[in-house]
């Protein structure tokens, strides 16, 4: 179980998150929604140790990890797929996968990645920077998959991609969840995020405006008001 408890955080001189409580139960998908600038990316950056809380705590399976650095959190199973993907463009698909693979399991990791995304198998020796946006996103997701994370932090992983690729990515997210990873998902495709989510958090100006199950959003005006989207259940 991964928890944010009363967290405040931001950047020099600006507080973005104001007293956020959020729980990611084991094996669940949590969708984090909110208007532009609500603080979603900031929350993921906090959860992966890239920025630290000024107040409040991060707790992973009972351990206080509030002050841990990103590599210490990765070691504990928290993996971040940032906006912009975070892959190495000059390295091949194989090399990108090997870098994230558990030691001694490189061959297995490559097989696992290619079975989730067959297209990566066809392009295993291609430099990632020369691949399409959708293929690069597949590499970024496959890199996380082979680490078998406890919690995957996913920032707009379907942004700007063709509908068919978005379908493939959402199928993959279900696979990632089925292998036992919990997902904290920031997603612009609200309806799709709600289809896969067990819990929804709605951030408004750095505060949690709604928390519940997707079904509880039926007719919730709070949604149209803060996200600017009618979920239309």
Binding stretches for ligand ATP (CB under 6 A): 11, 14, 16, 34, 36-42
Residue closer to ligand ATP by CB (options 76, 205) is 205
CB 48 within 8 A of CB 153: yes
Residue closer to ligand ATP by CB (options 34, 149) is 34
Q: How far is CA 4 from CA 59, 152, 206, in A?
A: 7, 15, 13
Residue closer to ligand ATP by CB (options 54, 179) is 54
Residue closer to ligand ATP by CB (options 11, 233) is 11
Considering the complex, what minimum distance in angstroms separates the CB of residue 116 from ligand ATP? 26
CB 60 within 8 A of CB 24: no
Considering the complex, what minimum distance in angstroms separates the CB of residue 27 from ligand ATP? 25
Considering the complex, what minimum distance in angstroms separates the CB of residue 169 from ligand ATP? 18
In the sheet with 55-60, reading across from the earlier edge strand, the strands are 14-24, 2-11, 55-60, 63-64
Considering the complex, what minimum distance in angstroms separates the CB of residue 113 from ligand ATP? 27
Considering the complex, what minimum distance in angstroms separates the CB of residue 38 from ligand ATP? 4
Determine the Cα–Cα distance for residues 18 and 110; give it in Å rounded to an integer. 41
CB 209 within 8 A of CB 19: no
Residue closer to ligand ATP by CB (options 41, 148) is 41
End-to-end CA distance of the chain: 29
């Amino acid at each position: 179980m991964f928890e944010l408890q009363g967290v405040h955080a931001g950047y020099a001189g600006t507080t973005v998150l104001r007293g956020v409580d959020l729980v990611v139960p084991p094996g669940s998908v949590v969708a984090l929604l909110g208007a532009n600038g609500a603080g979603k990316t900031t929350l993921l950056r906090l959860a992966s140790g890239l920025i630290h809380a000024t107040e409040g705590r991060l707790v992973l399976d009972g351990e206080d990890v509030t002050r841990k650095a990103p590599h210490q959190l990765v070691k504990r199973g928290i993996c971040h797929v940032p906006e912009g993907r975070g892959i190495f463009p000059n390295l091949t698909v194989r090399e990108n996968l090997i870098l994230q693979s558990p030691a001694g399991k490189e061959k297995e990791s490559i097989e696992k990645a290619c079975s989730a995304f067959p297209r990566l198998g066809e392009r295993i020796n291609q430099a990632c920077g020369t691949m399409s946006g959708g293929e690069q996103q597949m590499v970024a997701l496959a890199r996380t998959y082979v680490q078998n994370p406890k919690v995957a932090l996913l920032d707009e992983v379907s942004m700007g991609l063709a509908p068919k690729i978005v379908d493939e990515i959402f199928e993959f997210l279900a696979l990632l969840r089925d292998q036992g990873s919990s997902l904290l998902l920031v997603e612009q495709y609200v309806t799709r995020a709600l289809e896969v989510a067990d819990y929804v958090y709605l951030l408004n100006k750095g505060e949690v405006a709604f928390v519940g199950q997707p079904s509880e959003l039926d007719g919730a005006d709070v949604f149209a008001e803060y996200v600017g989207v009618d979920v239309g259940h």
